[in-house]
Amino acid sequence: MTEIEYQKGWSDADIADWLAQQLKDALAQREGKVAVTVPGGSTPFPIFEELAKHDLDWQRLEFWPGDDRCVPADHEASNYGRLAAALADTGASVVELTEDKQAPHFALAWLGMGLDGHVASLFPNTDPQVDDPRQIRRLTPDPLPPEAPFDRVTLTLSKLLTAEALMFVVRGEDKLALFEEAARGDNDLPVARLLQAARMRVACFS
């Protein structure tokens, strides 16, 4: 496992500044599109609001949800719909995650984590494997979260492990304690499997 960079007490604006610099660096290092994958949920959107204020070559940036609920794009539970709305004024591309897509190479994979240790929509009951031969899977969380009782489509651990860097935003002491436990290899939750196999830069903001 790679060493994890912990950054504690960072505001949404601080994280957006850091993320903007990573995107600028990635844009400078290559030609054409730069793809990143980002999480759903409530935590990322204040950060997106701050990120949108930055002067970036937005036309070359391509954002993919790391997972989504199997609902129409205009449904309130759609990560894609919320992400497209959040970045609508930037000129960035936002790509809907579906089973039939071929996911690109990601310069950065930004992930959240649940209190059950899930990342993307890789819940413990789905038994995700780091050598999964597929990049994208449709699956059913069990139990279904009551606030979003839908099947999911998600990037797999094996696909996330091909990203050039991983970043987590983990808010709350309980979640941070679980993340640190996973990083030490003291549990076998999905986040632990990802972190134990990671060989790229990993940053965790709390």
How far is residue 16's CA from residue 22's CA, in Å, rounded to a whole number?
A: 10
User: Among 62, 182, 188, which Cα is nearest to 127's?
Assistant: 188
**Sequence letter at residue 194:** L
pLDDT of residue 1: 64
DSSP string computed for 67-92: EEESS-TTSTT-HHHHHHHHTTTTT-
DSSP category for residue 119: B
The gap from C-alpha 33 to its chain's centroid, in whole angstroms, comes to 18
Contact 90, 58 (CB under 8 A): yes
Model pTM score: 0.95
Q: Coil, helix or strand for 5?
A: strand
> Domains in the chain and their CATH numbers?
4-205 (3.40.50.1360)
Give the burial class of 119: count Cβ atoms within 10 A of its Cβ; 0-12 exposed, 13-18 middle, 19 or more buried.
buried
Reading the block at residue 201, the tokens are 């830069």
Could you list the mean pLDDT of each consecutive 10-residue stretch along the chain, which spans 206 residues?
A: 90 98 97 96 92 97 97 94 94 96 97 96 96 97 87 98 98 96 96 97 97
Does a cis peptide bond (omega within 30 degrees of 0) precede residue 143?
Answer: yes
pLDDT of residue 145: 82
Q: Which amino acid is at 20?
A: A
